[in-house]
């Protein structure tokens, strides 16, 4: 039986009110099976980041429900939601979001400290070693390349061993070599550790690493394809869908 780490049921998300009201998600139902890698694609403004934020409990939807590990997020109070996010969910941002005054090791141990734990040095070293940066533990973000900073951010997202890792355009600011490394890392979370990965990307090469691609347009899921993929096939599919309305 397939178990789902995350489910979304008829999720609607709205920003603003009155004449400035924007429906960012317009009834999205989907599920992310445990131990799978999903890519979310779609035009700018189609609701990809909102989908990730709702699924990760960073935003609360206006309607519908989200479950993580079988727990309904809308039934949790703020403290319980914060705990669940900290224990079960990792989030990787395009802009890395590292704290510039802290070393790589201090950034990585932050989620454990926020959870009230005293991290063992070996835990932090293991997380940095998993992203190939054990010897950079004492470096601050400004002393690391973009690719290295994103790997530190991934180590930070992994140190709590979350069931699911959400990544919002994690390779958007990286060159192709650094992107390749980050994508192989995300792939290995799924293949070697059975974690669930959901990644927003614009890049067909990045999306081709996934098992499944969801396509969003105007806050709705408009297509879903399962791999394996080649980057060329992903690019063709996306072009087709983008062109469809004007044909
Ligand atoms: P994507 O990540 O696909 O580019 P988003 O989820 O960021 O799309 O945005 C979906 C829609 O919601 C867009 O129309 C965007 O302008 C709007 N939106 C996103 N965040 C906010 C916000 N904080 N306030 C108002 N509108 C927002
Ligand atoms: Mg976005």
Strands (E), the chain: 4-15, 22-33, 37-41, 63-68, 71-72, 89-92, 164-168, 196-200, 212-217, 220-226
Rounded CA gap, 211 and 39, in Å? 8
Q: How far is CA 130 from the centre of its chain?
A: 18
CA 81 to CA 65: how far, in whole Å? Answer: 14
Q: Provide the mean pLDDT of the chain.
A: 92
pLDDT value at 70 more than 50? yes
- Find the largest Cα–Cα distance for the chain: 59
Asked if the structure places residue 234 within a domain, the reply is yes
In three-state secondary structure terms, 136 is: helix
Ligand 1 centroid – CA 147 distance (Å): 26
**Residue 196: band (very low, low, confident or very high) from pLDDT cuts 50, 70, 90:** very high
CA distance 208 to 38: 10
The token pair that represents 204 in the structure block: 């067909």
Assigned domain for 10 exists: no
Q: Does residue 121 sit within a domain?
A: yes
- CA nearest 89: which of 9, 182, 167? 167
Q: Tell the burial category of 184 from Cβ atoms under 10 Å away from its Cβ (0-12, 13-18, 19+).
A: exposed
At 19 the pLDDT is 92
In the predicted structure, residue 247 carries a pLDDT above the cut 50: no
Query: Would 22 be classed as within a structural domain?
Result: no
Residue 42 has pLDDT above 90, yes or no: yes
Residue closest via CA to ligand 1's atom 17 equals 24
Which residue has the least CA distance to atom 22 on ligand 1?
A: 15
Cα–Cα distance between 216 and 58 in angstroms, integer?
19
CB-defined site of ligand 1, < 6 Å: 15-16, 22, 24, 42, 44-50
Q: Which atom of ligand 1 is nearest to the CA of 52?
A: 6
* 160: CATH: 3.40.50.300
The answer to whether the CB of 168 falls within 8 A of the CB of 92 is yes
How long, in residues, is the chain? 247
Closest approach atom of ligand 1 to CA 168: 2
Residue 22 has pLDDT above 60, yes or no: yes
Compute, in angstroms, the gap from residue 47 CA to the centroid of ligand 1: 6
Number of domains in the chain: 1
Would the pLDDT of 244 be above 60? no
pLDDT of 171 > 50? The answer is yes
Ligand nearest to the CA of 41: 1
**For ligand 2, a single-atom ion, which residues have Cβ within 5 Å?**
48-49
Determine the average pLDDT of the residues in 215-222. 96
172 lies in a domain? yes
pLDDT band of 55, cuts 50, 70, 90: very high
11 within a domain of the structure (yes/no): no
Spacing, Cα 51 to ligand 1 middle (Å): 10
Q: What is the mean pLDDT of residues 50-79?
A: 96
What are the CA-CA distances from residue 53 to residues 106, 135, 203 (Å)? 25, 33, 20
Residue 226: both structure tokens together: 């399962």
DSSP string, 90-109: EEE-TT----TTS-HHHHHH
75, two tokens: 């039934």
Inter-residue contact 222 to 47 (CB < 8 Å): no
Q: 180-183: list long-range contacts, CB under 8 Å, 24+ apart.
A: 181/132, 181/147, 181/151, 182/147, 182/150, 182/151, 182/154, 183/209
CA of 13 to the centre of ligand 1 (A): 10
**% of the chain at pLDDT higher than 70:** 97
For a ligand 1 pocket test, name from 8, 42, 47, 91 the mutation site with the most ligand atoms within 8 angstroms of its C-beta.
Answer: 47
Q: How many CB atoms are located within 10 Å of the residue 14 CB?
A: 16
Ligand 1, atom 14: closest residue by C-alpha: 45
CB of 202 closer than 8 Å to CB of 172:
yes
Nearest C-alpha to atom 15 of ligand 1 is from which residue?
A: 45
Report the range of poorest mean pLDDT among 64-78, 119-133, 137-151: 119-133
User: Could you list the residue range(s) of the whole structural domain that residue 201 is in?
Assistant: 36-46+85-243
Supply 139's token pair.
């470096």
95 lies in a domain? yes
Looking from the CA of residue 25, the nearest atom of ligand 1 is 10
99-111 pLDDT per residue, tens: 999 999 999 999 9
User: Measured in angstroms, how far is the CA atom of residue 132 from the centroid of ligand 2?
Assistant: 28
Of 43-57, 110-124, 137-151, where does mean pLDDT reach its minimum?
A: 110-124
Q: CA angle, 8 as apex, 209 and 159 as ends, to 5°? A: 55
Q: What's the mean pLDDT in 11-18?
A: 95
pLDDT at res. 150: 93
- Is 55 within a domain? no
């Amino acid at each position: 039986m397939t178990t789902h780490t995350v489910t979304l049921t008829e999720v609607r998300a709205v920003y603003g009110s009155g004449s400035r009201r924007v429906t960012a998600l317009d009834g999205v139902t989907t599920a992310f099976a445990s131990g799978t890698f999903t890519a979310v694609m779609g035009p700018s403004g189609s609701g990809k980041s909102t989908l990730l934020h709702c699924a990760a409990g960073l935003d609360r939807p206006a309607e519908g429900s989200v479950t993580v590990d079988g727990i309904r997020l809308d039934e949790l109070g703020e403290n319980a939601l914060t705990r669940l996010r900290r224990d079960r969910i990792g989030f990787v941002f395009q802009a890395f979001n590292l704290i510039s005054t802290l070393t790589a090791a201090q950034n990585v141990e932050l989620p454990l400290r926020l959870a009230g734990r005293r991290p063992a040095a070996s835990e932090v070293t293991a997380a940095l070693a998993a992203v190939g940066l054990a010897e950079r533990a004492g470096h601050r973000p400004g002393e690391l390349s973009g690719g290295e900073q994103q790997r530190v951010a991934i180590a930070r997202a992994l140190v709590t061993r979350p069931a699911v890792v959400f990544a919002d355009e994690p390779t958007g600011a990286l060159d192709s070599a650094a992107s390749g490394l980050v994508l192989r890392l995300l792939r290995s979370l799924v293949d070697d550790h059975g974690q669930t990965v959901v990644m927003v990307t614009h890049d067909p090469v990045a999306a081709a690493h996934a098992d499944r691609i969801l396509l969003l347009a105007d806050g709705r899921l408009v297509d879903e394809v399962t791999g394996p993929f080649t980057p060329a096939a992903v690019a063709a599919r996306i072009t087709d869908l983008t062109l469809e309305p004007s044909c």
